[in-house]
DNA sequence: GACTTATTTGCGCATGTATGCAAATATTGG
DNA sequence: CCAATATTTGCATACATGCGCAAATAAGTC
């Protein structure tokens, strides 16, 4: 694995490795339907602006995908993609 | 999943989500035999003290285990344990 | 157009973290 | 005991990051 791929993987893990962001991911796990940011706000008790920034990070790392709908932004997990990347690491580590 | 478990998982991901630490993990992946810290130093071009601190973090998060051998510390991956924790997250995310 | 709601952005602040260097500690071998 | 090697720790520093608040933007509703 080259340095670029390693950095990309590290960035994914870093994005997931922050408590409130991981809380958002878990919240989205439990939702059959996508949620808007305000709704996600409730799961971690921080300001809306903070949630907005966390969701931006998660979007950049392709953990979630976003869709505009009127004045709302609807978020959903990239389930298979994230799961695959984590399993690839698990496989590599297990050897 | 309760808040404590979530924090523990976040801490694991944070430990893995730093470039040089992930490099150390990958280096240990490729070693059939455990390695001492000085040897691991070579894979990321940082000071020995930095590697020492990174290995401490990885040990605290149970990513690696350490064994004293003379004046050396021998490190090896907790392969199955880490792989299991990552797969559990992957399963959860995939839903 | 005025108002409301959803979200983002700018700013400042406080805290966390990665790093290097030098000194300290530990342990082995003469 | 002394020298050499491996590792840790204290300290300073630079930078990143999470946060809240207020203002700005975007888009629907009346």
Average pLDDT over residues B5-10: 97
Per CB-CB distance under 8 Å, the chain A contacts of B19 are 6-7, 10
Residue of chain A whose alpha carbon sits nearest to that of B25: A93
- Protein CA B78 to sugar C1' C19 (Å): 27
In tens, the pLDDT along B55-87 reads 999 999 999 999 998 889 999 999 999 999 999
CA contacts within 13 A on the Cβ side of B74: 8
Strand C: positions under 7 A of a protein C-beta atom = 5-10, 17-23, 26-29
Percentage, residues of chain B above pLDDT 70: 99
The token pair that represents A12 in the structure block = 């994914």
| Beta-strand pair B35-36/A35-36 | unpaired
User: Would the CB atoms of B23 and A6 count as touching at under 8 Å?
Assistant: yes
Residue A83 Cα, gap to closest chain B Cα (Å) = 4
Residue B5 pLDDT greater than 90, yes or no: yes
Residue A95 pLDDT greater than 80, yes or no: yes
SS3 of B20-83: the string is: HHHHHHHHHHCCCCCEEHHHHHCCCCCCHHHHHHHHHHHHHCCCEEEEEECCEEEEEECHHHHH
Q: Which of residues 9 through 38 in chain A touch B, CB cutoff 8 A?
A: 9-19, 22-23, 25-26, 29
Q: Is A81 strand, coil or helix?
A: helix
User: Would the CB atoms of B16 and A10 count as touching at under 8 Å?
Assistant: yes
Q: Which residues pair with A72 in a beta bridge?
A: A69
Do A83 and B90 contact (CB within 8 A), yes or no? yes
Q: Rounded CA gap, B83 and A86, in Å?
A: 9
Instruction: Give yes or no for A57 touching B (CB within 8 A).
Output: no
């Amino acid at each position: 694995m080259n340095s670029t791929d390693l950095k990309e993987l590290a960035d994914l893990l870093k994005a997931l490795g922050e408590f409130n962001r991981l809380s958002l991911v878990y919240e989205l796990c439990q939702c059959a339907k996508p949620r808007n940011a305000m709704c996600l706000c409730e799961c971690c008790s921080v300001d809306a602006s903070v949630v907005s920034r966390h969701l931006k990070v998660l979007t950049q790392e392709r953990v979630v995908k976003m869709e505009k709908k009127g004045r709302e932004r609807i978020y959903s997990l990239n389930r298979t993609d994230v799961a695959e990347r984590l399993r690839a690491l698990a496989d590599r580590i297990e050897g």
